[in-house]
Structure 1
Amino acid sequence: MDLGDGILLRPLLPGDGAELAAAYTRNRAHLAPWEPLRTAEFFTTARQDEFVRESLRGVHEGRTAAYVLEDADDRIVGRVNLSDIVRGAFWSAHLGYWIDKDLTGRGVMRAAVSAVCALARDDLGLHRVQAATLVNNEASQRVLRAIGFTEIGHAARYLRIAGEWQDHLLFQRILEDAPDSGS
């Protein structure tokens, strides 16, 4: 799916490990404040190959949906994931995403998250997507608010990020209600 700015959104594929390792290595400092502490092994092709296999197993089992952003040079420049997909009475998932340091502020992630929400609604039949951001991650909050997510709460010491238990703001989007305005 074309997101503009020469960026495509596509499903995660077997064999993406090397490109993911390169993308994470290239963005190591950029992502460090927003992610769990990473060991040196995390940035290797071997470990990313394992993560790809694990993710694709989750996709096959209906627990996750995994996408990458790819530039015109076939480099992976971001990820968007739906995890913890729950059916039954809930029909919901958690959203996670990141983008290459050189693409921030261009609206690419807004378009990618909007597209994934449309896929969650139309292809997966989900009702709701929720997301959490660090309290000080204003850029991520702008992405979510721009495409119809609403803030639903504050979670104290929600996730261990950058080595510390950190507070997060919680957001949700009811997929039938929110406009697809991510472009």
Structure 2
Amino acid sequence: MEFNNFKLEIISSKYYHLIYNYYKSNKEHLEPWEPTRAKDYYTLDFHIKRTDERLDLIKKNQSMHFILINNKEDEIIGVCNYTHINGGECWLGYSISNLNQGLGYMYKTVINANKYMFNKYNIKKINAGIITKNQRSLKLINRLSFESTGKFVEKEINHKVEKLEIFSFSNP
């Protein structure tokens, strides 16, 4: 899928270096919102292995992993993942580079990626767990018409236990 400033593509081994660069260059920006990372997380070898694992999960219809890539195809500016595909449900996760926040790119991405998931995988409901203090993500998930389930879970995020609110969006 192509937009004015970026393309939305399924991950591919041709982007190993760009995937690695995305996480490495956005480390400080993303770490407060993500699980504590393994010591080798910020290495190319780690991201080659993880990308290969994700490609295998895509083949097994267990997950779908998208990248947002700039039009020059020399920089990944975000990721959008659908995991734990099972029984018509899945879980959404996403991140965007520090420099591309607030530009509407993730909104466009999730709107279109959700349609893809509903059509290709026959998904009926998409769930998302949002850290309650992540105001940008809460604003986005509400703008996307996800509804709070009223449920909360605690997860280990960046060496701390954080409260996540569970949201869901059903296939219209």
TM-score, normalisation: structure 2: 0.95
Tell me which residue corresponds to 2:83.
83
- 1:118 match: secondary structure: helix
Q: 8 Å contact 1:17–1:46 — kept in the other structure?
A: no
What is the aligned partner in structure 2 of residue 180 from structure 1?
Answer: none
Partner of 2:110: 113
Cα distance in 2 for residues equivalent to 1:16 and 1:55: 13
Unpaired stretches in structure 1, ≥5 consecutive residues: 177-183
CA shift for structure 1 position 17: 1.9
Q: 2:158 aligns to what?
A: 162
Superposition pairs for residues 37-56 of structure 1, below 5 Å?
37-56=36-55
After superposition, give the CA deviation of every residue in 1:73-113 in whole Å (9 maximum; x if it has no partner): 311111101000002xxx00000000010010011001111
What residue is the counterpart of 1:134 in the other structure? 131
Distance, in Å, in 2 between the alignment partners of 1:162 and 1:154 is 22
Identity of aligned residues (%): 20
By how many angstroms is 1:40 displaced?
A: 4.3
Contact 1:13 1:52 in 2 (8 A): yes
Counterpart-to-counterpart distance in 1, 2:70 and 2:133:
28
- In the alignment, is the contact (CA less than 8 A) between 2:130 and 2:137 conserved in 1? yes
The Cα RMSD (Å) is 1.2
TM-score normalised over the length of structure 1: 0.89
1:123 alignment partner, one of 116, 120, 134:
120
Distance 2:3 2:110 in 1: 10
Please give the secondary structure, in 2, of the residue aligned with 1:2.
Answer: coil
Secondary structure of the structure 2 residue equivalent to 1:78 = strand
Task: Say how many residue pairs are matched.
Answer: 171
Unaligned runs of 5+ residues in structure 2 are: none
Shift, 1:37, TM fit:
1.8
Q: Which runs of 4+ in 1 moved over 2 A?
A: none
Q: Aligned with 1:169: secondary structure?
A: strand
Distance in 2 separating the partners of 1:143 and 1:8: 20
Q: In the TM superposition, what whole-angstrom CA distance separates every residue of 1:30-65 from its partner, at most 9, and x where no partner exists? A: 001100122441111111000111001100001001
